């Protein structure tokens, strides 16, 4: 997993720590972005704008 994602977690995620940690765990388990998108909109969805920004961040990290 890209260390930039782990460094991002504690600094910029007020209120979203649990959800981002869940997504970080999924990344460590090599989930695809499609799976992450489905799982991130499941039981406890983030506010839509925050979720879109998070998915953009994940796509940038995975593509680099």
CB distance 9 to 24 below 8 Å: yes
Tell whether pTM > 0.85: no
pLDDT at 43 over 60: no
- pLDDT (tens digit per residue) in 32-42: 665 656 555 55
pLDDT at 58 over 70: yes
pLDDT at 17 over 60: yes
Q: Which pLDDT value is given to residue 11? A: 47
């Amino acid at each position: 997993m890209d260390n930039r994602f782990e460094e991002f977690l504690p600094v910029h995620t007020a209120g979203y720590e649990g959800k981002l940690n869940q997504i970080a765990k999924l990344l460590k388990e090599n989930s695809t972005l499609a799976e992450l998108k489905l799982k991130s909109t499941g039981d406890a969805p983030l506010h839509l704008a925050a979720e879109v920004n998070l998915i953009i961040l994940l796509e940038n990290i995975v593509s680099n």
